[in-house]
């Protein structure tokens, strides 16, 4: 079963953008700069969730949308109504993205300040894709990262995404996919499972139980129809007095018919208390194979508390709102900044030194130490040899030698002349994320005050930035 | 310009759902209950943002999707692969939603525990739409409410949604629409403006300035192309030393050519300090008509601080992340509960008394007092006369007389036999929200510890719930 191509924007990809992208594009066009060469970088400045790393995701969706980027007549008419000029509208009619994109792979472990995507093309084509690129990379990376934290807390136990009903509208489509990249096992979201060839999962709602009036009949009917994949929701009336005893009755009936109840599900109340008592009741009935699924406002902290502090006998976690929205962090604040224009490196100046951008066309390398653990990342200018030391991007006195480490280039050419060169399925990205996370030291993965991973720049890049900063300062103080 | 019909799910509406909706539907079908009559209620238990009200939104999108609800062959094949049975797949092939929906209007001011949507139909059709209904109503209501708070803080000043790049993926499509319903004036999101016939807005990015190398040239070029709608971004290098002086130069050049600079925009730094100094510089240059636009991590609290505490001379607010994601509340926790099945009222029991549902088919009334202000809402059984007192849903001793008030029914039949009966455009919903919010007393609208609005139930509804609760308790204690 392969991934299905679905045009998720009803073909209106080109207008999934901020208005100013189009006014600027017209500005470039009318000022005769339509063909000016440019380079933009995507990067973010802070890991979400006060964490020590971010999982990069969203690339395959972005590439698919960029590949299909075009304006149809209805959209051009809409832009005409907004006052765009005819000569520019003619230009848009044939417009395609024909640039080249380098990127880290989907599922890569990444860190603040690193240029993760490098877009090379005319200034118009590189500019107009900004909004859709930021929208999807920011969001999918946020959710993949959240999912990886939930996965860590749950250990080897099964985790299922139940979030669609509380997702931020259609954001659920990409969130369910990003959750799988981050390590969640399956999703209740049928649309995303269909689109991305993922495993679906689900149990039953309280309404099923209520509709039968009595719980035992409701359980029996469900077991009759799904004898080999029956999970019973036991908290509609009273978990320990009614739900679990009725589930045990039905489990025994299933046994006599040669089947096995898969699990019971707890969706309210104190999950530690209820799971312990339910486990004891199931075990006493000889049903130690029946698993316990829990759901209700779970996240990595609640799961850790249930498993580590409470030693709750839980087998499966159904996670909803806080996974699918990334609560408590609503957004990854990634940005897209011009680094080269017309052959010249460009800098976004700032009086706040930590907000200076890294100028010029750049490459990214990762260094693994003798123990096979990620040690540091280096950002270099594109024509430099692989560096053997890096400099802290804001404290130039702080240098790190990379001599004992093995470098690996992080950028792949994922699009050339508008054609997709590298594509990963969701499962491939998930496998890559698992592998890369396993090579990241635990101190970068802990939830509280994680150790900061080393990201440095080369001497040549530092020199370039310093010379551009000095140039601006001279101008400002003249 | 009217609203465009766009199938935002690439026609895959029916699988935009949780897997268990379909397994339950098959269960109902195979147990011979496909035609069983049912009624479901949508309601939520807590206002978002610790606020005193919620703005209801998302209805028109939900109705449009329900109207187009059907399974195509590719989806049926996917369900076959998941093990669904042939007879049920045949049933799905011709499946349409043919039920009836009552709802409060889009833009209504609503409160916790109120049944806001009542879906009547067969248990299958009413069940399978749950996920899409929750997904869109929860999210659009969250964002419309957030927008209305930002609107209150900004007073009569212009507010523009700049959020698409930080939206939760495609959630931005509905969020930009919901923001308009809540009182935002325009959006940068071209897709949503195109789809819902809204006003677009935008300025320029730092990359425009950087691409020219020097700021004055960049400003001049933009003013040359957009002489009558020029807004200049003044913080690329140094706001007060470079950006504002260059903007003044260009404003004077525009004046000489018979045009007027619209505004400058500040996107970083201390917005209070910078706006005051920029205002003074503009005024000293005789440019008191040039407005000041600010953006950068704004929300209702930051805007209130800028205007009230800092008295910052700001004319327009561009609001992004915190509007479009509803930060700090990620989701409205609305639920969809069975209230009637097969002619019998149904209750979701809970040991937590405040989580009991309201059983039976119900109506909603709003009461306006002698001063023309909303006084209380009543939830009644559908065949009751308009009540003249209400009872607190959890403290039966607490009663309120409604004799001095004028009642108004809140429910409208918005869908009948699967056809849309009432449709509001985004602008109409926004106008309705403005009108309804103006009739809500200020004490319910304040950000800190808002006064709780009275929502009560009738004696008959209370009696029904009590009798069902007692029935459950008898069963549990047998």
Would A274 be classed as within a structural domain?
Answer: yes
Would A364 be classed as within a structural domain?
Answer: no
Strand partners, B407: B367
Would A20 be classed as within a structural domain?
Answer: no
CATH code where residue A296 lies: 3.20.20.70
End-to-end Cα distance, chain B: 65
Would A7 be classed as within a structural domain?
Answer: no
Mean of pLDDT over chain A: 96
Question: Which of B276, B187, B262, B278 minimizes the C-alpha distance to B227?
Answer: B262
Question: Which residues are CB-contacts of B186 (< 8 A; sequence separation ≥ 6)?
Answer: B158, B160, B161, B180, B198, B199, B200, B201
Contact A106, A423 (CB under 8 A): no
The alpha-carbon gap from B285 to the nearest alpha carbon of chain A, in Å, equals 20
Whether B10 and A12 lie within 8 Å, measured CB to CB: no
For the four alpha carbons of A298, A299, A301 and A307, in that order, the dihedral sign comes to positive
pLDDT value, residue B1: 43
Nearest-by-CA chain A residue for B355: A268
Sort strands B406-409 and B362-368 into parallel, antiparallel or unpaired: antiparallel
Would A229 be classed as within a structural domain?
Answer: yes
**Would you say the ipTM is above 0.95?**
yes
Per-residue pLDDT reduced to its tens digit, A78-99: 999 999 999 999 999 999 999 9
Q: Which of B81, B135, B172 sits opposite A172 (nearest CB)?
A: B135
Question: How distant, in Å, are the alpha carbons of A6, A402, B62 from that of B7?
Answer: 12, 53, 12
pLDDT per residue of chain B (478 residues) written in tens, 0 to 9: 457 877 788 789 999 999 999 999 999 999 999 999 999 999 999 999 999 999 999 999 999 999 999 999 999 999 999 999 999 999 999 999 999 999 999 999 999 999 999 999 999 999 999 999 999 999 999 999 999 999 999 999 999 999 999 999 999 999 999 999 999 999 999 999 999 999 999 888 999 999 998 999 999 999 999 999 999 999 998 999 999 999 999 999 999 999 999 999 999 999 999 999 999 999 999 999 999 999 999 999 999 999 999 999 999 999 999 999 999 999 999 999 999 999 999 999 887 888 899 999 999 999 999 999 999 999 999 999 999 999 999 999 999 999 999 999 999 999 999 999 999 999 999 999 999 999 999 999 999 999 999 999 999 999 999 999 999 888 877 6
Phi-psi region of B266 (alpha: psi -120 to 50; beta: other; left: phi over 0): beta
pLDDT value, residue B478: 63
Q: Is the pLDDT of residue A1 over 80?
A: no
Contacts of A194 in chain B (CB under 8 A): 12, 15, 75, 78
Whether A213 and B162 lie within 8 Å, measured CB to CB: no
The alpha-carbon gap from A15 to the nearest alpha carbon of chain B, in Å, equals 5
Contacts of B226 in chain A (CB under 8 A): 23, 27
- Domain carrying residue A159: 144-324
Sort strands A186-187 and A158-161 into parallel, antiparallel or unpaired: parallel
Contacts of A75 in chain B (CB under 8 A): 194
- Of A9, A42, A170, A333, which to mutate for an interface test with B (greatest number of B Cβ within 10 Å)? A170
Q: Which of A27, A168, A351 sits opposite B222 (nearest CB)?
A: A27
Q: Which of B81, B165, B326 sits opposite A18 (nearest CB)?
A: B165
Would A9 be classed as within a structural domain?
Answer: no
The alpha-carbon gap from B4 to the nearest alpha carbon of chain A, in Å, equals 10
pLDDT value, residue B350: 81
Would A380 be classed as within a structural domain?
Answer: no
**B448: helix, strand or coil:** coil
The alpha-carbon gap from A412 to the nearest alpha carbon of chain B, in Å, equals 24
Report the alpha-carbon distance of residue B313 to residue B273 in Å, rounded: 10
Number of Cβ pairs closer than 8 Å across A and B?
324
Burial-class residue B421 by CB neighbours within 10 Å (0-12, 13-18, 19+). middle
- Six-digit token string for B413: 């039949």
Contacts of A168 in chain B (CB under 8 A): 139, 167-169, 171, 175, 325-326, 330-331
Question: Which residues are CB-contacts of A49 (< 8 A; sequence separation ≥ 6)?
Answer: A145, A146, A149, A326, A328, A329, A447
Per-residue pLDDT reduced to its tens digit, A98-108: 999 999 999 99
Q: Which of A171, A201, A213 sits opposite B168 (nearest CB)?
A: A171
pLDDT value, residue B213: 80
Report the alpha-carbon distance of residue B447 to residue B436 in Å, rounded: 18
The alpha-carbon gap from A237 to the nearest alpha carbon of chain B, in Å, equals 5
Structural domains counted in chain A: 1
Torsion angles phi and psi, residue B242, rounded to 5: -125, -55
Would A240 be classed as within a structural domain?
Answer: yes
- Six-digit token string for A269: 């109340």
Whether B207 and A242 lie within 8 Å, measured CB to CB: no
Report the alpha-carbon distance of residue B365 to residue B115 in Å, rounded: 11
Report the alpha-carbon distance of residue A449 to residue A435 in Å, rounded: 23
Whether B168 and A20 lie within 8 Å, measured CB to CB: no
Q: Which of B82, B237, B269 sits opposite A472 (nearest CB)?
A: B237
Instruction: pLDDT band for A456, please (50, 70, 90 cuts).
Output: very high
The alpha-carbon gap from A350 to the nearest alpha carbon of chain B, in Å, equals 6
Nearest-by-CA chain A residue for B332: A166
Q: Which of B1, B170, B205 sits opposite A170 (nearest CB)?
A: B170
**A102: helix, strand or coil:** strand
Q: Cis link prior to B328 (omega < 30° from 0)?
A: yes
Contacts of A140 in chain B (CB under 8 A): 169
Nearest-by-CA chain B residue for A38: B211
Instruction: pLDDT band for A478, please (50, 70, 90 cuts).
Output: low
Contacts of A224 in chain B (CB under 8 A): 31
Whether A167 and B165 lie within 8 Å, measured CB to CB: no
- Of B57, B165, B238, which to mutate for an interface test with A (greatest number of A Cβ within 10 Å)? B165
Specify the DSSP class assigned to residue A189: B
Contacts of B200 in chain A (CB under 8 A): 19, 82
Contacts of B164 in chain A (CB under 8 A): 16-18, 131, 135
Contacts of B342 in chain A (CB under 8 A): 211
Question: How distant, in Å, are the alpha carbons of A110, A279, B81, B123 from that of A223?
Answer: 46, 20, 21, 19
Contact B459, B336 (CB under 8 A): no
Whether B328 and A330 lie within 8 Å, measured CB to CB: yes
Q: Which of A24, A26, A476 sits opposite B237 (nearest CB)?
A: A476
Contact B23, B30 (CB under 8 A): no
Contact A187, A193 (CB under 8 A): yes
- Of B18, B71, B177, which to mutate for an interface test with A (greatest number of A Cβ within 10 Å)? B18
Q: How many CB atoms lie within 10 A of CB A317?
A: 27
Question: Which of A174, A153, A162, A280 minimizes the C-alpha distance to A231?
Answer: A162
**A291: helix, strand or coil:** strand
Residue with tokens 């403006």: B193
Nearest-by-CA chain A residue for B349: A237
The alpha-carbon gap from B45 to the nearest alpha carbon of chain A, in Å, equals 14
Report the alpha-carbon distance of residue A35 to residue A47 in Å, rounded: 36
Contact A210, A197 (CB under 8 A): no
For the four alpha carbons of A390, A146, A67 and A82, in that order, the dihedral sign comes to negative
Nearest-by-CA chain A residue for B36: A211
Report, as an integer, the average pLDDT of A198-220: 93
Whether B190 and A26 lie within 8 Å, measured CB to CB: no
Contacts of B472 in chain A (CB under 8 A): 237
Whether A169 and B164 lie within 8 Å, measured CB to CB: no
């Amino acid at each position: 079963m392969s991934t299905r191509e679905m045009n998720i924007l009803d073909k209106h990809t080109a207008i999934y953008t901020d208005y100013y992208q189009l006014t600027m594009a017209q500005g470039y066009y009318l000022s005769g700069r339509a063909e000016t060469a440019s380079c933009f970088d995507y990067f973010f400045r802070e890991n979400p969730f006060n964490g020590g790393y971010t999982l990069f995701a969203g690339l395959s969706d972005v590439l698919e949308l960029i590949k299909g980027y075009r304006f149809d007549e209805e959209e051009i008419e809409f832009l005409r109504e907004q006052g765009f000029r005819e000569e520019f509208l003619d230009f848009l009619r044939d417009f395609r993205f024909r640039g080249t994109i380098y990127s880290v792979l989907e599922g890569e472990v990444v860190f603040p300040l690193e240029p993760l995507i490098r877009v090379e093309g005319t200034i118009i084509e590189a500019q107009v894709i900004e909004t859709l690129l930021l929208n999807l990379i920011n969001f999918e990376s946020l959710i993949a990262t959240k999912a990886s934290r939930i996965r860590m807390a749950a250990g080897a136990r099964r985790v299922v995404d139940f979030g669609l009903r509380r997702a931020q509208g259609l954001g659920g489509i990409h969130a369910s996919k990003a959750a799988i990249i981050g390590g969640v096992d399956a999703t209740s979201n049928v649309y995303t499972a269909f689109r991305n060839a993922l495993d679906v999962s689900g149990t039953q709602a309280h309404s099923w139980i209520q509709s039968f009036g009595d719980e035992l009949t409701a359980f029996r009917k469900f077991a009759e129809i799904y004898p080999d994949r029956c999970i019973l929701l036991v908290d509609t009336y009273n978990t320990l007095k009614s739900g679990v005893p009725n589930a045990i009755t039905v489990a025994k009936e299933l046994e006599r018919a040669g089947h096995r109840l898969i699990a019971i599900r707890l969706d309210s109340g104190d999950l530690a208390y209820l799971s312990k008592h339910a486990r004891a009741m199931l075990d006493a009935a000889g049903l130690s194979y029946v698993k316990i699924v829990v759901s209700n406002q779970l996240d990595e902290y609640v799961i850790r508390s249930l498993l580590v502090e409470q030693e709750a006998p839980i087998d499966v976690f159904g996670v909803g709102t806080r996974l699918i929205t990334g609560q408590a962090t609503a957004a990854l604040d990634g940005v897209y900044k011009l680094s080269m224009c017309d052959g010249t490196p460009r800098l976004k100046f700032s009086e706040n030194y930590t907000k200076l951008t890294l100028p010029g066309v750049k490459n990214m390398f990762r260094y693994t130490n003798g123990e096979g653990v990620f040690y540091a990342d280096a950002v270099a200018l594109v024509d430099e040899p692989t560096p053997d030391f890096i400099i802290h991007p804001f404290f130039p006195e702080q240098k790190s030698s990379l001599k004992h480490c093995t470098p690996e280039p992080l950028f792949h050419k994922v699009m050339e002349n508008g054609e997709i060169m590298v594509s990963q399925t969701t499962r491939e990205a998930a496998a890559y994320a698992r592998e890369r996370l396993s090579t990241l030291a635990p101190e970068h993965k802990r939830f509280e005050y994680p150790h900061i991973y080393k990201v440095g720049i080369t001497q040549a890049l530092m020199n370039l930035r310093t010379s551009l900063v000095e140039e601006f300062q001279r101008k400002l103080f003249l």
